[in-house]
């Protein structure tokens, strides 16, 4: 028993801090927002480490690869699996909403407005910035990843002359990992404060008129989370993969749940990937890309939004055409959400444009997105390691995990 407690000590501390934070938020209500400086201190430190971590680790991982065809194989499988899992998660929610109507009991006046002036549909713009310093911002992670990949390919083409730079990148990666370890000492305090704020500000919404929609979403998300992650781990590495994934996923799950940020979860998720035995060249590419693009949790909530609004505006959602459109829009919107400025509103605009809902419907979608943001992020983030495991199976062969464990023992 003592050995088990020691093995899961950090996870248990995180879990306890979030439970205590949730209870505090429930009792304190909106007043829990006074804890924002504590929460922001932790999250800001994590944000500061994300950009250098991506640049250093991704540069060194690709530059050491030397095999551009392998890079193309990893990237190709990433995008293929991202679309496949997005479609599967969307259809999973479509079936669930067919069985249980999430709009039952919803009674909301559509007289609010939301400012979408900061939103834009420049999807291609997410891949680049117009000034070098802007690369090193957490708001432009996709552009940073694109630049880093190009930079690493340049290092490969330089050959021997580039090796000192690759060595420097490896060293800086080790340094930033140690820095993140120090920052994570503050995780119980920071995550506890964030959870108190989350429950304090949104607790009343969960028990309001959207409670059935939120409740259905949470139930479906939990079921999908358990099934999808178990299946991904099994297909990637058999029962040993399942056991290892579930025994090491808790810190990632709690960090994502507490911060509601895929970007802030990158450091702990990279650590999780490496505990699973995923090679650096796959983990350092797939995890940052996944944080920006792979969002099954977002796909689930987009379907709920569409079904709720369809019911409110007396539209028959369950037709082949509407289901096809909903799945397509959900996958596209989930890719956009974290990729461009105002991405959340852009997703709403996609839905409104496709289904002809009035602009007054945006507050309902924003509310649903806000209340479900934390659990959606948790599914998004934990799904990235499952995706990386499947890519490891495809790229490194069926015995990839066993080979990694054997190499560690030597």
- CATH code of the domain covering residue 344: 1.10.3860.10
Query: Residue 345: what pLDDT?
Result: 56
pLDDT confidence of 177, banded at 50, 70, 90?
confident
Rounded to an integer, the average pLDDT of 65-90 is 89
Name the DSSP class of 175.
H
pLDDT of amino acid 368: 81
Reply yes or no on whether the pLDDT at 312 is more than 70: yes
Q: Mapping DSSP to helix (H, G, I), strand (E, B) and coil, where does residue 151 land? A: helix
262 in a structural domain: yes
Q: Which residue has the tokens 């930079």?
A: 151
CB-CB contact of 217 with 301 (8 Å): yes
pLDDT at position 208: 58
- In whole angstroms, what is the distance from residue 348 CA to residue 371 CA? 15
Joined together, the tokens standing for residue 384 give 């990235």
Spatial contact of 242 and 233, defined as CB atoms under 8 Å apart: yes
Which has more confidence, 112 or 319?
A: 319
Confidence of residue 342 (pLDDT cuts 50, 70, 90): very low
Q: Mind listing the pLDDT tens digit for each residue in 32-49? A: 889 989 988 988 888 888
Check whether 283 has a pLDDT greater than 60: yes
Among 159, 169, 161, smallest CA distance to 59 is for: 169
**Considering the domain boundaries, does residue 5 fall inside one?**
no
Q: Within a domain: residue 1?
A: no
Residue 105 or residue 340, greater confidence: 105
409's CB contacts (< 8 A; 6+ apart) are: none
Please report which confidence band the pLDDT of residue 202 belongs to, taking 50, 70 and 90 as the band edges.
low
- Give the number of other Cβ atoms within 10 Å of residue 396's Cβ: 18
* Percent of the chain whose predicted confidence (pLDDT) is above 90: 37
Domain span at 133: 12-409
Can you read off the two tokens belonging to residue 120?
Answer: 């834009």
pLDDT at 66 over 60: yes
Query: Looking at the domain assignment, is residue 244 inside a domain?
Result: yes
Residue 2 counted as domain residue = no
Average pLDDT of the residues in 252-274: 89
Nearest to 35 by CA among 22, 19, 49: 22
pLDDT over 90 at 93, yes or no? yes
pLDDT of residue 118: 46
Which parts of 305-364 are beta strand (E)?
A: none
Q: How confident is the model at residue 112 (pLDDT cuts 50, 70, 90)?
A: very low
Q: 44 in a domain, yes or no?
A: yes
- 6 domain-assigned: no
Highest averaged pLDDT of the listed ranges 123-132, 141-150, 220-229:
220-229
For residue 4, being part of any structural domain is answered with no
Rounded CA-CA distance 260/167 in Å is 34
- Cα 354-355-360 angle, rounded to 5 deg: 110
> Which 3-state string (H, E, C) describes 205-268?
HHCCCCHHHHHHHHHHHHHHHHHHHHHHHHHHHHHHHHHHHHHHCHHHHHHHHHHCCCCCCHHH
Cβ proximity of 357 and 351 under 8 Å? yes
The DSSP code for 315 is: -
**CA of residue 394 relative to chain centroid, distance:** 22
Judged by DSSP in three states, 130 sits in coil
Quote the number of domains for the chain.
1
Mean pLDDT of the chain: 83
**386 and 228 Cβ atoms separated by less than 8 Å:** yes
């Amino acid at each position: 028993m003592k050995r088990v407690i020691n093995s899961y000590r950090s996870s248990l501390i995180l879990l306890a801090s979030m439970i205590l934070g949730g209870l505090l938020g429930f009792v304190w209500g909106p007043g829990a927002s006074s804890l924002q400086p504590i929460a922001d201190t932790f999250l800001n430190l994590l944000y500061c480490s994300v950009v250098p971590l991506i640049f250093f680790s991704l540069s060194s991982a690709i530059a050491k690869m030397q095999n551009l065809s392998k890079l193309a194989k990893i990237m190709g499988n990433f995008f293929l699996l991202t679309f496949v899992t997005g479609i599967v998660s969307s259809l999973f929610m479509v079936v669930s909403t067919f069985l249980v109507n999430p709009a039952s009991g919803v009674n909301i006046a559509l007289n609010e407005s939301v400012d979408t002036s900061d939103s834009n549909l420049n999807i291609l713009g997410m891949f680049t910035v117009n000034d070098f310093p802007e690369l090193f911002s957490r708001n432009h992670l996709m552009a940073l990843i694109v630049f880093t990949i190009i930079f690493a390919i340049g290092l490969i083409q330089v050959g021997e002359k580039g090796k000192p730079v690759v060595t420097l990148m490896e060293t800086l990666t080790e340094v930033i990992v140690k820095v993140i370890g120090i920052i994570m000492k503050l995780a119980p305090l920071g995550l506890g404060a964030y959870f108190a704020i989350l429950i304090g500000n949104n607790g009343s919404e969960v028990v309001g008129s959207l409670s059935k929609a939120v409740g259905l979403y949470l139930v479906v998300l939990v079921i999908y989370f358990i099934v999808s992650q178990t299946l991904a781990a099994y297909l990637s590495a058999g029962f040993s993969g399942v056991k290892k994934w579930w025994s090491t996923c808790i810190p990632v799950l709690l960090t994502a749940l507490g911060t509601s940020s895929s970007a802030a979860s990158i450091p702990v998720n990279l650590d999780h990937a490496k505990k699973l035995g995923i090679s650096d060249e796959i983990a350092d590419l797939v995890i940052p890309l996944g944080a920006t693009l792979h969002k099954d949790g977002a796909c689930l909530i987009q379907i709920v939004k569409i079904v709720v609004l369809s019911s409110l505006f007396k539209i028959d959602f369950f037709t082949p055409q509407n289901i096809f459109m909903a799945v397509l829009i959900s996958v596209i919107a989930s890719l956009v959400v974290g990729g461009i400025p105002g991405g959340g509103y852009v997703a709403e605009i996609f839905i409104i444009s496709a289904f002809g809902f009035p602009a007054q419907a945006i507050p309902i979608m924003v509310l649903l997105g806000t209340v479900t943001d934390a659990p959606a992020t948790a599914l998004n983030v934990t799904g990235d390691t499952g995706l990386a495991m499947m890519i490891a199976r495809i790229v490194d062969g069926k015995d990839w995990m066993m080979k990694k464990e054997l190499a560690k023992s030597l």
